[in-house]
Structure 1
Amino acid sequence: MSKFGDLGNFLVLCILLGIASSSHGQLQLNFYAKSCPQAEKIIQDYVQKQIPNAPSLAAALLRLHFHDCFVRGCDGSVLLNFTSSTKNQTEKVAVPNQTLRGFSFIDGVKKALEAECPGVVSCADIVALVARDSVVVTGGPYWKVPTGRRDGRISNASEALANIPPPTSNFSSLQTSFASKGLDLKDLVLLSGAHTIGVSHCPSFSSRLYNFTGVWGKKDPSLDTEYASNLKMKKCKSINDNTTIVEMDPGSSSKFDLSYFQLVLKRKGLFQSDAALTTSATTKSFINELVKGSLKQFYAEFGVAMEKMGKIEVKTGSAGEIRKHCAAVNT
């Protein structure tokens, strides 16, 4: 190829990178200052009124944000309902999302916003702001949430299954998954810290108790023996238990603190993905630094990671749409 061809390709690449970076840069703090000045206050007021009555929803809404961003970016695609076509089941029905909660909460926020300024605030922004505000209300960290996301029109169950890292992930798969979203190993550790609040269902980890690596009766050697026995005797008494819920951070699951990381170092992380964080010298070092540091520092660093995650592959400008109803694309 001639040098002019190389130059042309280089210019095209620069233009494409410019488009990508400008799209990313269109998120801004107080995006709705003119179009819907009360938007963020309406969301905050709704959260402050509802979450104290159901504090466990804070963890669920934070998880909803994570699952949204890891599939097609933070575009509200996880909110779209099951369609009649079996060829296009939405993200909601994918295995990783079958235990998601908070959809009706998002709908309630959207209804309040539509009453104030119809067709202005995206469902994707609602998910991002609600995640932050609900964590703050329960005493957790605050982080900046630039807005201006637009809603996607595509939602595929197969993509959710392929992109959301399962709780059985090893370190290599976690590193690959996060790197594909522009997140590094420090982000991986910090975002895993969200496991300090909330609960999980037995199927997410019961193989560690009963048939690790497919061998019946074998326990995951990376799981503390006493903790494993306690889970089997008092919680997940059968590998077929699909209903029992277990605290991800036992004894501290309602507090956004450093307890989760302390437990991980003691081999008491609930998931294989938690234990995986100690198999890398780099991530284990990050955990040790957090445990030795202050809660204030953890909050600050967690906030930076959350802001970074909230910018994954966002749709801005004229991309996507502003849905009238979060569970359905506009007709």
Structure 2
Amino acid sequence: MKSMSFCFVVVVFLALAEISRCELRLGFYADSCPEAESVVQFTVAQAVATNPGIAAGLLRLHFHDCFVRGCDGSVLIDSTGNNKAEKDAIPNFGLRGFEVIDNAKARLEDRCPGTVSCADILTYAARDAVSQVGGPRWDVLGGRRDGTVSRADQVGANLPSPLFNVDQLTKSFVRKGMTQEEMITLSGAHTIGIAHCLSFVNRLYNFSTTSVQDPDLDPNMARLLKSLCPKGSDFLDPKSKSIALDPLSPNLFDNGYYTSLSLRRSILTSDQILFADLDTRDSVEDKQANEAVWRFKFVNAMVKMSTIGVLSGNQGRIRTNCRVVS
């Protein structure tokens, strides 16, 4: 497995200054495919207009790609008879947005065959998805190349679990070169999106040896979640119920997520623990009180995350079909 080294990037007053060894740069396709970013933006805008929830799907897809083997588009590869791919691992249950990437890729292959990587399309799409639901928009470096390996058995050890405590979450991010503060900042992405029963049922039944139900979960929210996910249900059923991660504003990219934490109405253990743990509560309260600062930090963290373990130059390849190692 290749190194999870970073192409370090700094953001100063919203201007990007590249200080990396990698061959990522702004306007990477300016000559080879000038419409690359606009095509992705148009495709994402169409998808979000039809289904606002797909914005969260694309953002999650990008995160899950970058944390397993780096931002190389490997999460997009389909399983075969000989290989179970990342997308079919249990921690990737409920991933969505693949068809949006497919559509953008098809349009770009028509215009610029074999030029724009799936990894870059996914990175652009995540940025565009956030801006389509009221979030910030930022410049994205291009030049990622596509990976050729996608293995389900590498997912669990790399993705932070919704059951993690603060120490486990922090270590999971540090292993990728990111800080605890960046972890708390990026967790704010849960201001949009949904969670399936599988992700939070641990808080409802047999939570611990001393408590059947998570004491940090608001009782009214617990009753709602139990009604959606009755004990004994098949929580791996793709048709299982889901609920908005931020019930206050589920399709608006704002800092309502942090308010939900303070009200003990957050859905996931790994979210609520950020408020319950005194080591991280101050950071949560800062982001709840100052949305502009959180947005600025979010942009910085997203730019940094998008350079985890990238392939560039002569590494990897440009896949013509994002679902296939071609």
8 Å CA contact retained: 2:6, 2:307: no
Equivalent position SS for 1:145: coil
The superposition leaves residues 191-243 of structure 1 with CA deviations (integer Å, 9 ceiling, x where unpaired) of 1001100111111101201121378x80012222232123224x223352531
**Mapped pair 1:312 → 2:305:** no
Separation in structure 1 between the aligned mates of residue 245 and residue 157 of structure 2, nearest angstrom: 24
The superposition leaves residues 93-143 of structure 1 with CA deviations (integer Å, 9 ceiling, x where unpaired) of 100112101111111100000000000100000000011112211222212
**Mapped pair 1:210 → 2:215:** no
Q: Which residue of 2 aligns with 1:275?
A: 272
**Mapped pair 1:114 → 2:109:** yes
Matches within 5 A, 1:238-317: 238-240=231-233, 242=235, 243-293=240-290, 295-317=291-313
5+ residue gaps, structure 2: 9-18
Equivalent position SS for 1:206: helix
5+ residue gaps, structure 1: 1-15
C-alpha RMSD of the superposition: 2.0
8 Å CA contact retained: 2:85, 2:150: yes
Larger relative helix fraction? 1
| Number of aligned residues | 309
**Which of 311, 324, 329 is 2:320 aligned to?**
324
Separation in structure 1 between the aligned mates of residue 198 and residue 272 of structure 2, nearest angstrom: 17
Q: Which residue of 2 aligns with 1:236?
A: 229
8 Å CA contact retained: 1:44, 1:133: yes
8 Å CA contact retained: 1:208, 1:219: yes
Matches within 5 A, 1:95-174: 95-174=90-169
Matches within 5 A, 1:64-103: 64-85=61-82, 88-103=83-98
Considering only CA atoms, is the larger Rg found in Structure 1 or Structure 2? Answer: 1
Separation in structure 2 between the aligned mates of residue 249 and residue 20 of structure 1, nearest angstrom: 32
Equivalent position SS for 2:312: coil
The share of aligned pairs that are identical, in percent, is 44
8 Å CA contact retained: 1:203, 1:239: no
Separation in structure 1 between the aligned mates of residue 192 and residue 127 of structure 2, nearest angstrom: 14
Separation in structure 1 between the aligned mates of residue 309 and residue 250 of structure 2, nearest angstrom: 31
Q: 1:228–1:159: structure 2 CA closer, same or farther, 3 Å change rule?
A: same
The superposition leaves residues 5-60 of structure 1 with CA deviations (integer Å, 9 ceiling, x where unpaired) of xxxxxxxxxxx9x9977865421111111111111111112222232111110000
TM-score by length of 2: 0.90
Equivalent position SS for 1:176: helix
Shift of 1:283: 2.2
Separation in structure 1 between the aligned mates of residue 26 and residue 277 of structure 2, nearest angstrom: 36
Equivalent position SS for 1:256: coil
TM-score by length of 1: 0.88
